[in-house]
Structures are given as C-alpha cells and as structure tokens.
Structure 1
Amino acid sequence: MRSFSCVLFLIVSILISSCTETQKSHLATSTETKPTSIQHTGDSYQLLRYGKPYFIQGAGGVSHLAQLKDCGGNSIRIWDDLEAGSILDQSEKLGLTVFFGLWVERELEGFDYDNQEAVDRQYERIRKIVLKYKNHPAVLMWCVGNEWAMEASNFRVYDEVNRLAALVHELDPDHPVATVISPDSERAIWLVQERCPAIDVLALNSYALTEKLPQFLKKGGWDKPYLISEYGAQAYWETPVTPWKAPIEPTSQEKYDFVKKFYRQYIGSRPPNCLGAYLFYWGFKQEETHTWFNVFDDQGRATSLVELMQLLWSGKQTLNKAPVVKGLLIDGKASTYQSYIPSVAAHQAQILTSDPEGDTLTYYWEIKRRAQFSADYAGTPLPALKGLIQNPNQSAISFKLPTKPGAYRLFAYAYDTHRHISSANFSFEVRPSDSAKDE
C-alpha cells in the first residue's frame, strides 16, 4: 500500500511539474507576443514591447515624424482620435508607436459629471474609439484623459476615469491604460491611487515639478509605473514675469540648455518605475507665443531642440547645428522687457548670434501683441503688426511703438542655410497716455 502511495505521489508530482512548466511556457509566449505589457521585477516596473524592454523616447505631436525617427525617437503622443487612422498608419511605417489619448471632458471647461446622460455619451464615444483602433500595430498604450483633474471639485470624475479605464481593459487586454494629470500636489495623485485602481500607468505633465515627483508620488501613495507625458522648455507659468504679468520667454539657447540638463537628470538617468517621456511639442502651435514650445517653425525649419534630442536619444551629433542666440540688445542694452510711454521716437534692437559651422545667417523681426484671450494661448498664431520695423531682414533694426496701449512682443529670428531657426523675443508694454501725463 505504501509502495502504491509512493508511485501515486510521484505521478501527481510529475503532472504538477509538467503543468507548471506548461503554464510558464504559456506565460512566456504570451509576454513575447503581447504588443505591450508591464513587467514587475524586484522593486521596479519595466515596459515591454513584444516581450522586449521598451523605454519611451517620444514627443507629443503629429508632424515631422520621419525626423523624430531619424533622431532616435520611438514614440509619439496624441491627445485624441482626430486623424488617428492616418497618424497610426504613418507611425507604423516608420516603426514608431503611439501613446493614444482618449479625450475626457473636463469640469474646468464646463462639463458636469452629475449629468449622467452626458457621461454615458462620453463612455460610448470612447468605447467606439477603442474598438476601432485596438488592433492597430502602432498602438503602444491608451491614455484616458489629459489634465481632467485640474480644478475638478466633483470627485465623480475620478470614478468615471476608473470606469473608462476598466472599459478599455475589457475591450483591449493587450495594451496598458494610463491617465494624465498635472502633479500640482500629491492630492491628485492620491485620489487617482485611491479611486482609479484600473489605471496601470500614471502619466504626468510635470515640467519643472518633475524635481518634486519622487516626493509627490511617495506622499500620494503611487508605487506603480509612471511616465512623463509632457516636458520641454521652461513653461510660461514657471518663468519670471514682467510687471504687467507677461511671462518672459527664454531664448532658443536657454531652452536648449534647460532641456539638456532636465533630460539627463530626470529621464536619461532611468529613474525606478519611469517608463520614459514625451517632449512637448514636436511641431508648431501657438501657446502663449508661437515660439515657446515648438520644435519647428511654421515652415518646418528645425530649432536646436531637434539636434539636442538626437544627441540625447541616440548619442549622435548632427552634422549641422542651428544658430546660437547669445542675446538681445534693446537701445544698446541687454533687456528682456521694458515699459514705454507713448512716443513716435524709434528704438534700436540687435540680436547677437553665432553659427557653429560658420554658416551665413539671415534674419527677420516682427512685432505682435501679447496673447490676451484663451484662444491666443492655444490657437492660431497672432498676426504681426505692419509698418513698425525698418529693414526687418537685418541683425540690427529700428522699430516704432504701436500707437495702441497694451502689451506686445518683439520677435527676432535667425536662420542658417540648412533650414534651422533660432529665436528670442523682447516683451514690452505701451502705457496709456494718462499714465504718461502722471509722470
């Protein structure tokens, strides 16, 4: 009897061992064939693409994708499904992946999360998007919403983001689900951690707050993976401002230096649980100004951030670099802003530049009013004012003040012969005539 028990035990052990090995083999095969997965090893998480480690070297934007690939980038971020099909197809051809944004309405813009009918319409819209694109080879992961927690007083939005994340998981188990917040404090992080268990990855538009991310994540209780969904030039809500509250924009060279230091410290160092990052903005758009975040101008000319990202992503130097802006002189003095009384007198301006390869440089200047309304901050670039600048194609010019009181910017651009652009601008105001009389 004892001999029979021993034989039976041996057979059962062999069967269990065989099943375990089969399960291991199945898991390995599943991981290797799954488009995107997250692996937890030891104390940290790692993103896998078809079973292989995949660190995101990406940028937000939908243009100049071939240049991103050539620089060593591997992924792009989109915020919604507008033109998603063509973007996904182009990305697939280039070997890029897409961090696919599912737009979630925001209380900040008037959406009411107590309106169940509107909430359900949003749910159905997102369901259709996921079903339409879930099998596209370029999809990396889904992102439920962008900065939807900003100024949100109704906590139901957190529950709805979790419901949407759970829906995406149900429809598409082959791609992780993230959400994007702005880490103004650990409060929003804690609320996501508490109320959104279906979220796999916390994505953060962090900019200068990236320095505080470790403490925010710790205090917020988030110990799962994260990624930096937006970083770039020092943002306009983070820079010094003029007395009339206009943010002072860094020059092209100052942006280059800032992003280089930032990337190496917070992204290239590969912090634990960090899956990578997306530079903002790989394209051209108006946001406070038409030069602030853009990696390209409206003609497709590249700023120095393109050569910088190639260096950071691939370790390779470009053969030709953008002009270097050393400074801007206004009436012979280095200046970033000035307040003027109304006057018909001309002022002098000069942009100080050099070129790494000694290319011949050309220049252009223009004056625009400062962004004032919400549409100015993320809309169509503002038009230039006419007739204020004499010889705008020189490195040194004379300009007149606009006659209408208000806040303005004087923009200076330097171009080389290899489709590169560098820029700087000078913020100024023209005070009302009454204030001039008081002086």
Structure 2
Amino acid sequence: MKILSVLFAGLLLYTTAAARQPQQGVAVKKAGDGFHLYIDGVQTYIKGVGGTNAIDVASASGANAFRTWGGTVESIKNDTELAAASNMYILQGISMTKDSASYFDENYKNKVRADVRQLAEAYKDEPRILAWALGNEIELGNANIRAAWLFIEELAQLIKSIDKRHLVITVISHNAEALDSIARFCPSLDFVGINSYGSIVSIADMVNKSAYKGAFMVTEWGPTGFWEVPKTSWGAPLEQTSEEKRQVYEQRYNNYILANKRCLGSFVFLWGQKQERTPTWFSMFLERNVKGLPVSGEKTPMVEAMQRVWAQKEPPQTAPVIKSMRLNRQVASGNVRVRVGEIIAAEVDATDREQKQFTYVWEILKEATVLGFGGSYEPRPDRYGEVVTSGKNQIKTSVKEPGNYRLFVYVLDNTGFASTVNIPFQVY
C-alpha cells in the first residue's frame, strides 16, 4: 500500500508539473462568442505592422509582430533573426498567383508544393513564426474559383502534416464571396486574414453574415484606398492629408479591430514606404535616398496614431498637424486647373503641439500613369522642376507643360516626424 501511495504521489506531482508547463505552439481557441490566440500557452493579441522596415521603432511603439508577403529559406532566416532581436512574431507569407489558369497547371502547382514543403520543413520548430499565410488576395485576379481554394486546402494540409507548431491561413481582400468560398472549401485553415481599408467599417457585418464561423485577423488596413475616394474630373483620386489619416487609423483600430471579439489582432499597412498612386498614400514613413528630395524616412502622424492606440496613452512626441492646403485658393476637391505658365500660389496651414519650427519641402510630380495592380510595383512618377525647401508655408511656381500633376508639401518638425498633403491639378 505504501508503494502505491508513493507512486500515486509521484504521478500527481508529475501531472501538476506538466500542467504548469507552457503549451507549445500557436493555437486559436473559442472564447464565448469570440476567439483568443495563444502562443506557447500565453494569450496574445497581435499588434502587428506590415513589412520589415524600422522594426526597432515598431517594437518600441508597442508592436509585437510583423507581416511579410513571401520569402525564401534564406530571407526567412534573416526575418526570424530580426524578430528574435526585437521580441516580435512573424506572419510569414507564401506567395501565390492571382491567375486562375495556374490552378489547373500541374507544373505550377508542383513548384508551389515543393516550395511549401521546403519552408515547412526548414521552419517547423521556429518559435518566432506565428503562422503561414498562403497567398494574398488571390481572388483579386480571376482566381476566386473552386480549384484555387481546393489547392489552398491541399497546401494547408501539407504544412500541417509537417509543422505541428504553427497555424496556417490565407489572406483575402474585403470580399464576402471569397470568405464564403473559404468556409466551403478550406476547413483546415486556422483563421482567415482580411485586408480592409475604407470598407473596414462594415467588416463585422460581412464576417457575421458569411458562412465562415471562425476567427479572423485584419492583415492589412490603413487609410481610405485610392479606389474608395472621390476623384477629380480627370480621374485623379483625392488623397487624405496625413492628419486625416491619423484620425482614421485611430478610429478604425479602436472601433473595428480592437472591439471585435472574433478578431485576433491586425497588421497596419504600411510600416514603411511604397509608391502606390502616390509616394505617400499608404506610407507610414517618408522616402529615403530620393535624389533632390531632402527627407530621410521620417515618421508620419500614422506612426503617432499607432503609438497611441497600442499603448492607450499619449506618445511623448507628436507630428505636425496639417489643417488645410490650398492651391490658387482652392482645395483638392475643387478640380484645380491652371493655364500653361500661369502662376500657381499654394499655402499650407500647419501647427505643432510641441511648437517646433517647421521645414517645408515642396515638390511637383506628374500624375502616376504606370499603375500596379493589387499592390504590385509602381515606379515613382517623374518630378517637374526642382524641389523647394524653405521655412515658409507658401510657394509660388508655374508649370509650362500641359498635363496632370500633383503638388506635394512635406512639413518636417525636425524631431523625426513629418506630415504630408498634396493637391492634384491640371495644366492646359
């Protein structure tokens, strides 16, 4: 009897110790009418950024993850080292085509299968990877078809046969039909990533009305997209000022991401800089190393916004606040047109909470005509004339070639923050 008692006590001690051990890997668990994400047994809400730019700034600002859209064994190694150094997690993308024909092409599918297997085997035990993201908005081409979603399901099962630690998802645009297709054809996915910009105000309604009943994450979000805003009479989309963007970043995060119980977190877009209709539309940092342009990756008010909502307190330093900009006394929505050679007089009204002195950088770019699709590469539009840098909030200039242009101003407070605004105009 004494031996049995000792064995029972030992078993109880072992069971108790095992229960205290953190649960290894990443998991999604139902919690009432919502869901929670766990990493090694610790409930974790994802405060993520899109891209690998300035990860030190992201971490210091309160972020705990970053997202990539693809990678090789070599590039992922670099990203995991970056994540480890910054105490971050990675939503690791696996690139897939938007062309429906490829999902009937065994050569293409075999290559993807081989790539996916290689990545899963190489990183099945990597603690810094959160999940594998199969594709990004494949339905934006013509691939919202059964064959494509069945291939996503096949790949999800392939990864899970190798990698027991990480989750597997796919990422779609704000698309109810695609979400219903995932519910029907992709049962092995652990949650769904949804990219949503101006339409994020209706994301809860879309998800709740769909056939999909699982968790989701907002894998891209930010300003109102160029496809969602009013346009000039010649078709130029009207970009929000950086102050308007700051406001919507804060509102959208608090009201449509943080407040949604089925949402596991988000990745704000873009924690870096890219040309997409303009150099500033989705960019949360200014450009670097552009010849003749004296800016060097300054933070925009959208970075300030994320510092505020992630920490739920005021950041120690804030960006300039652009109240308005006028060109020949007209705002951007005024369909501004000028004659060839006519004087263009522009003025920007900006203030600063810390009352810093401003530097104003003025630049005229031709309207973008070489356009990407679904976030693909776009070249920076050609500049007209020279960049003007001064301490004045006004400028007078002229354009001597007919065409469609934008006048940009960058307002720098010389503390590492900058705000932007632009007005499209037509020269005839």
TM-score by length of 2: 0.89
1:308-350 deviation line (CA, Å, top 9, x unaligned): 1111001232222111101101123434453435421211001
Q: Could you tell me how far apart the structure 2 residues matched to 1:77 and 1:361 are?
A: 34
Q: How far apart are the structure 2 equivalents of 1:78 and 1:26? A: 37
Q: Work out which of the residue numbers 26, 31, 53 in structure 2 matches 1:63.
A: 53
What does residue 178 of structure 2 align with? 188
Give the SS at the match of 2:407: strand
1:318 aligns with 2:309: no
CA shift digits 1:65-98 (9 cap, x unpaired): 0110111111101110152221210111111000
- Give percent identity, aligned residues only: 26
Aligned to 1:356: 353
**Residue of 267, 272, 275 corresponding to 1:278:** 267
Alignment of 1:174 with 2:165, yes or no, is yes
Residue 146 of structure 1, CA deviation: 0.4
Structure 2: 5+ residue runs without aligned partners? 288-295
Supply the distance in 2 between the matched residues of 1:26 and 1:274 (Cα, whole angstroms).
33
**Counterpart in 2 of 1:372?**
369
* Letter in structure 1 aligned against 2:146: F
What corresponds to 1:382 in structure 2? 381
Give the direction of change, closer, same or farther, for the CA distance of 1:385–1:156 in structure 2 (3 Å limit).
same
Contact 2:361 2:388 in 1 (8 A): no
Indicate if the aligned counterparts of 2:204 and 2:256 stay in contact, CA closer than 8 A.
Answer: no
1:71/1:309 contact within 8 Å kept: yes
Counterpart of 1:374 in 2: which secondary structure?
A: coil
Instruction: State the distance in 2 between where 1:196 and 1:26 align.
Output: 37
Does structure 1 conserve the Cα–Cα contact (< 8 Å) formed by 2:370 and 2:379?
Answer: no
Match for residue 428 of structure 1 among 408, 418, 425 = 425
Distance of aligned partners of 1:286 and 1:303 in 2 relative to their CA distance in 1, 3 Å threshold: same
Matches within 5 A, 1:167-316: 167-184=158-175, 186-269=176-259, 271-298=260-287, 299-316=296-313
CA 1:366 to 1:106, structure 2 compared with 1: closer, same or farther past 3 Å? same
Give the SS at the match of 2:243.
helix
SS of the aligned residue for 1:427 comes to strand
Query: Residue 381 of structure 1: CA displacement?
Result: 2.5
Instruction: Report which of the two structures shows the higher radius of gyration computed on alpha carbons.
Output: 1
Paired AA for residue 349 in structure 2 = L
**Distance in structure 2 (CA, Å) of the matches to 1:248 and 1:373:** 18
Please tell me whether the aligned partners of residues 332 and 424 of structure 2 are also in contact (alpha carbons under 8 angstroms).
Answer: no
Q: CA deviation at 1:426?
A: 0.4
Q: Does 1:395 align with 2:387?
A: no
Give how far 1:176 is off.
Answer: 1.1
Larger mean CA deviation between 57-66 and 145-154 belongs to 145-154
Gaps of 5+ in 1: 1-10, 12-16, 432-439
For the 8 Å contact 1:364–1:394, the answer to whether it is kept is no
Match of residue 85 from structure 2: 93
Matched, 1:156 2:154: no
Q: Residue 260 of structure 1: CA displacement?
A: 1.1
Shift of 1:306: 1.4
Deviation string 1:239-263 (CA, Å, 9 cap, x unpaired) is 1111122110000110011111111
CA distance in 2, matches of 1:215, 1:73: 27
CA-to-partner distance for each residue in 1:379-438, whole Å, 9 max, x for gaps?
343342225x777663111121240x332111011001202110100011234xxxxxxx
Aligned partner letter, 1:236: F
Aligned to 2:293: none
Shift of 1:47: 0.2
Query: Is the CA contact 1:390–1:399 (under 8 Å) kept in the aligned structure 2?
Result: no
| Matching residue's letter, 1:400 | S
Q: 1:345 to 1:374 in 2, by over 3 A?
A: closer
Q: Is contact 1:81-1:129 (8 Å) kept?
A: no
Aligned residues: 409
Counterpart residue number, 1:136: 126
Q: Flag the 1:198–1:25 CA change in 2: closer, same or farther, 3 A.
A: farther
8 Å contact kept, 2:370–2:378: no
What CA deviation, in whole Å up to 9, does each residue of 1:209-235 have, x standing for no partner? 222223322332111111100111111
Give the distance between the partners of 1:334 and 1:220, measured in 2 at CA: 41
Structure 1 stretch displaced more, 67-76 or 83-92 = 83-92
The alignment's C-alpha RMSD in Å is 2.6
